[in-house]
Amino acid sequence: MEGPKSKFLKVKCADCGNIQTIFDRTNLKISCSVCGATMALPMGGKSDIKGEIVGRVDTDLE
């Protein structure tokens, strides 16, 4: 089974302040759902977070 490697990050959009949950590994560009600004870019299988990380969400927790 997978270990506790993957996690979700709460990232605040630098442009509009929207807080969005982003997977810390992605192959896709993540855009803000409110204003469309880039919030994360794929970087070698991980996410290059462009906004401010304001928290983490452990996948083991609700």
State the nearest-atom distance from the C-beta of 51 to Zn ion, in Å.
Answer: 8
Other beta carbons within 10 Å of 39:
25
Burial (CB count within 10 angstroms: exposed 0-12, middle 13-18, buried 19+), residue 13 = buried
Return the number of the residue (17 or 58) whose C-beta is nearest Zn ion. Answer: 17
Contact pattern for Zn ion over residues 3 through 42, marking x by CB under 5 A = ----------x-xx-x-------------x-xx-x-----
Which residues of this protein are in contact with Zn ion, per CB under 5 A?
13, 15-16, 18, 32, 34-35, 37
